[in-house]
Structure 1
Amino acid sequence: MTRILMVLTVFCSVNYKSFSQTVEPSTAVTKNTLQIEIESLYAVQKENNVKLTSWSIPSALFRFGLFDGAEIQVNTPIIKEELWENDHLVHSLNKFDDIQVGFSINLWKEKNILPETSLMIRAILPTDSEFKISKLGKICSINFSNSITEKWSLNYNLGYAIETDNTKAGFYIANLSYNFSDKIHFFAENFGDFNNSKLISYNLNIGGGYNFSDNCAFDVSIANGINHNLFYVGGILTFIIDTKKH
C-alpha cells in the first residue's frame, strides 16, 4: 500500500469543533479533552491488470490534550484488503494494521500572514509476528493554517515518512475549507507524495460535513488520482469528550 493510502487512514479534525479531513490540524485539542475519530474508507488502486482494494472497517484515531498546546495521538487501523489480477482474486486478508503513536505540539499562533503552526511526530509500530525495533517507521510533519476570512481557511501540511519496510517519501496536503454555516462545511483538497527526483502521485479530494453539536460531527469525502489510478470514498464520525466532566 502506498504512502498516500496510509495518509488517508488518518483523517483528522481541523480544529476542536469538528472538521474531519485528511489534513492534519495546526492546533492541538484542549487540555483534558479526548477526541475520537471513527473512520471507514473504501479505496481502489489499479495498475495495468492488477487491482488492490482496501477497506477500513473501521479505523480509530484517539487524540488527548495533555495540556493547552500539546496532545498525544494513537491510531489503530483495521483493514480488509483484496488483490485482484486479471479480474481473479489472488489474495484477501483482514488485518490489524500498523499502529501509529505520537504527539502534536503547537509552535505558534497565527499572526497576520504568519500561519498557525504545529509539529507532529508519530512512530509506526509494526504488528506482524516478527516485531523488531529496526522495523519502526516514522512520520514527521509541519502543519499550518491561515484564516482567510471568517468563512474561508487554508490548511496545509508538509512532511516526511519512513515506512516499516524502510520505504521513504515526502508528502504534502493542501486543504481549502469553507464554513457555509455553524452546522455545514465544505472542503477541497490536493494531496500527494514525492521523492528526491519526482512527484510520485497527486490527488484531488472534495467533501463536506455536518456538525450535530460542538461535540459530534460527520464528514464524507471522495477522491481521485490525477496522475495515477486511485479512487476512494470515505466517512468519519468525530466525538469530543471533556474528561474532566466524567
Structure 2
Amino acid sequence: MGQQPPKADLKYKPKNLEEAISQLDKIHHDTTKQQILAMTEDQFIGNSHFGLGIWIRNNWRLWKDGDLSKYFNSIGIYHPDDMSGIILTSYYRQLKGQDRNLDEQVKCYQDYWKASTEHLNRLKNDTTYQRQIRQSQDSLQKAKMNEKILEWSPGKKVSGYIDKRCDFIKDFLLRTKIEGTIIEWDNETLVIKVTKYYDEKLKKRLEKCYKIRNDFLFVPNHELFKLEE
C-alpha cells in the first residue's frame, strides 16, 4: 500500500461500494496508484485477489454479515470473493476513468452461479446429461493420454516411483525410486527398461513383485513418473 495510511482509514468499514472505493483511494499512496495504472485490469485483479482482496474480505467483514456484505446482498451478490472482485474491478476502473459497469459485473457473477447450480442439479437428476459429461471427460482424458504417448517416445529417459511391496497398503513413504528408458507403450501401460534402482537391496523383491525380466518393467502407475532431461 506504499506509505502507511492513517489508522482511522484502515479501521473504517465501508457500508456500500462508493465508500469502499473511496477508502481504497485513501489508503493507496500515489506511487501505488501509478503501479496499478500500469497494469491491465486482469493483472490487477489477479495480483490483488490473495493480497488486498483477502484484506478487504476480512477487515470489511464480508464473511461476517457486515454492512458492506448486506449492501452486496441487496444487489444480488452473496459470495465474499464476488464482493471483493467487484470492489477491486470498480476501483481499477475508477482510477482509469472508466465506467464501472456495475450492472454488468453483477450479472456476470449471477450468471456464473446460475450455470453452476444448473450443472450440479443436472448431474444429480439428468442421466443423459451425466452420460454426456462422462463422455466429454473420457474424451479429454483420452486426448491427454495420446499427447503423453507421443511425447514419451521410445528411447527417452524417465524416473519415478513404484511401491516397495505389491501386497502392502499404498503409501508414498513405502515407495522407491527407479530410472529407466522407454521401450514402448502397451495400450496405456508404459514399458521401460530399468537402468537404476535407487535402493539396490530392494531389487530382487521388486523383480519378483512386478515380474521384471531382463530389467523390463510394465510400469503400474506412470503418473508417478516424469521425463528426464
The answer, yes or no, to whether TM exceeds 0.5 is no
Q: Counting strand residues as a fraction of each chain, which structure ranks higher?
A: 1
Larger radius of gyration: 2
TM-score, reference length from structure 1: 0.18
